[in-house]
């Protein structure tokens, strides 16, 4: 199965600033997925990133707040923009490993103060 390297693992940020999270996969994948896990909650999909096209955002998430890049088949970034304390969450990237199932990165624990 694919191995995902996600960084940073955690960060504490000031409100109003932005943070970019990176995910590097050890093999080429068609789709990458970005999830948010708010404190004590389950995972919610933010967007699906396909190489060479605009990301597809789920209801309640917008590109201006969560811009995503997907420059090639092994890498993607998610930016959390103009942060507020409500953005404090764990952010995870994921890939579809086909027969191996969906693999997740280790997550980025973001605290906004």
Partner 1 sequence: AQSVTQPDIHITVSEGASLELRCNYSYGATPYLFWYVQSPGQGLQLLLKYFSGDTLVQGIKGFEAEFKRSQSSFNLRKPSVHWSDAAEYFCAVGRSTGFQKLVFGTGTRLLVSP
> Which residues make up the interface to partner 1 (CB under 8 A)?
1, 6, 30-31, 33, 41-45, 48, 58, 92, 94, 96, 99-107, 109
Other CB atoms within a 10 A radius of the CB of residue 4 amount to: 23
- In terms of CB distance, is 63 or 100 closer to partner 1? 100
Q: Give min distance, CB of 42 to partner 1, in A.
A: 5
Q: Give min distance, CB of 9 to partner 1, in A.
A: 9
Q: Cα–Cα distance between 37 and 23 in angstroms, integer?
A: 16
Kindly give the pairing relationship between strand 108-112 and strand 10-13.
parallel
- In terms of CB distance, is 40 or 85 closer to partner 1? 40
- In terms of CB distance, is 15 or 54 closer to partner 1? 54
Asked if 90 contacts 8 with a C-beta cutoff of 8 angstroms, the reply is no
Q: In the chain, what's the furthest Cα-to-Cα distance?
A: 41
């Amino acid at each position: 199965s694919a191995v995902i390297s996600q960084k940073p693992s955690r960060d504490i940020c000031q409100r109003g600033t932005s943070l970019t999270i990176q995910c590097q996969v050890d093999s080429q994948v068609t789709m990458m997925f970005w999830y948010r896990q708010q404190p004590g909650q389950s995972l919610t999909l933010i967007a699906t990133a396909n190489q060479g096209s605009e990301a597809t955002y789920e209801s309640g998430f917008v590109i201006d707040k969560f811009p995503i890049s997907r420059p090639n088949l092994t890498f993607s970034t998610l930016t959390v923009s103009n942060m507020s304390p409500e953005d404090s969450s764990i952010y995870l990237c994921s890939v579809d490993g086909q027969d191996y199932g969906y693999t997740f990165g280790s997550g980025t624990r973001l605290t906004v103060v």
